[in-house]
Amino acid sequence: MHAATVSRFGGPEAVEITEVPVPVPGPGQVRIKVAAAALNPVDAAMRSGVFGGEGERIGLGWDVAGTIDAVGPGAGARPGDRVIGMSTGHRTPLGTHAEYVVLDTEAVAPAPASLDDAHAATLPLNTLSADQSLALLALRPGQSLLITGAAGAVGAHAVELAHLRGLVVTALASPADEEFLRSRGADHFLPRGEKPAPGGWDGVLDAAQLGDDASAAVRDGGAHVGLWPGREPAPGRGIRVGALDVRADAERLAALSRLADRGEVLARVAATYPLAEAAAAHARLAEGGLRGRIVLVP
């Protein structure tokens, strides 16, 4: 079968389509025939060597939508089930940008019945990242939350989920995104480029990596969560500072899938590319300006 991999670090040109064996599911695992797989910034980071692995053959892709076609012992799943899932391994030889992928059952959930495969494939990493970031913040209903980069894939889902949790949400993004973000649950809007008021919020989810500027917006004793471990601002003023280390969670992913079916979580596809054109897809991702995810289709 074919898979997108890298054996050297670099720009989009480093992405190769290679021939690899079809994987076999082990105990507690399922094999998914990939119908669609989203391309995320973490894939660009892996391609460029952020996570190391020089000289290794590294598979790309974290998100997947498709159909179970084989199960390992004790998997508790059925061939033919339509699912979404997330691979969280860094530097694994095979990711989801492939024709088949094997995942643990704890990383797989039923796909939203109302969405096509391309849209469903955008959900796992981004919705779980938003959901787990909000859990780290541990804010109570009625408390205030600033979300930077709110129009991005993680940020927009964070707006939706924070609204459902009863938080008072301020979205920071381009002025062109204000109407969209208010429609997804933002109570207030802050244009990108305008510095957040110091100490103005109980918590900040810093999806745009503003760092110290975002941390300064947190009140004394509040909470700050970013999306990249190791890039957290220095703690101070009693602020809890954390960074997301996203993990697979079948139960939460199933709940998020149901929210998508109810229209409370919106899947956005910016463009689709054939798997064979993965390098071109990486090049488009690098250009920026996307609203939604690029999706690869085998």
Residue 271 pLDDT greater than 90, yes or no: yes
* Percent of the chain residues past pLDDT 90, beyond the cut: 92
**pLDDT (mean) for 234-261:** 96
CATH number, domain with residue 215:
3.40.50.720
Average pLDDT value for residue range 8-37: 97
User: Domain residues for 234?
Assistant: 126-243
Residue at 29 is within a domain: yes
Report the run of H or E that residue 5 belongs to, with start and end: strand 2-6
The residue among 276, 241, 257 whose CA lies nearest residue 98 is 276
Residue 254 belongs to some domain of the structure: no
pLDDT at 4 over 90: yes
Please report the pLDDT score of residue 54 as a whole number.
Answer: 86
Inside any domain, residue 252: no
* Residue 10 sits in the same domain as residue 115: yes
- pLDDT above 70 as % of the chain: 100
pLDDT at 248: 96
Asked if residue 258 is part of any domain, the answer here is no
Distance CA 3, CA 20 (A): 7
Domain total in the chain: 2
Name the β-bridge partners of 221.
none
pLDDT (mean) for 231-257: 94
- pLDDT at 235 > cutoff 90: no
Q: Which of 134, 122, 106 is nearest to 227 (CA)?
A: 134
| Joined tokens for residue 16 | 């190769």
Q: How far is CA 271 from CA 14, 126, 232, 268, 296, in A?
A: 21, 17, 32, 9, 9
Q: How far apart are CA 6 and CA 54, in angstroms?
A: 10
Geometric angle at alpha carbon 264, from 205 and 248, rounded to 5°: 60
The 3-state DSSP class for residue 253 equals helix
pLDDT of 89 over the 80 cut: no
Residues 6 or more apart whose Cβ sits within 8 Å of residue 96: 34, 37, 61, 62, 63, 64, 85, 87
**pTM of the entire predicted model:** 0.96
Mark whether 111 and 19 lie in a shared domain.
yes
pLDDT, position 130: 98
pLDDT value at 121 more than 90: yes
- CATH number of the domain at 279, please: 3.90.180.10
Q: Please, what sign has the CA dihedral across residues 279, 103, 48, 241? A: positive
Tell me the pLDDT band of 136, cut-offs 50, 70 and 90: very high
Rounded distance, CA 257 to CA 124, Å?
Answer: 9
Give me the mean pLDDT over the 16-30 stretch: 97
Region 98-113: what's the mean pLDDT?
98
Q: HSE on the CB side for 148, CA within 13 Å?
A: 26
Per-residue pLDDT band for 76 (boundaries 50, 70, 90) equals confident
Over residues 190-216, the mean pLDDT reads 95
For the segment 239-250, the average pLDDT, to the nearest whole number, is 96
Task: Please check whether residue 250 lies inside any domain of the structure.
Answer: no
Which distant-in-sequence residues (6+ apart) come within 8 Å of 296 by Cβ? 4, 36, 37, 38, 39, 61, 97, 272, 273, 274, 275, 278, 281
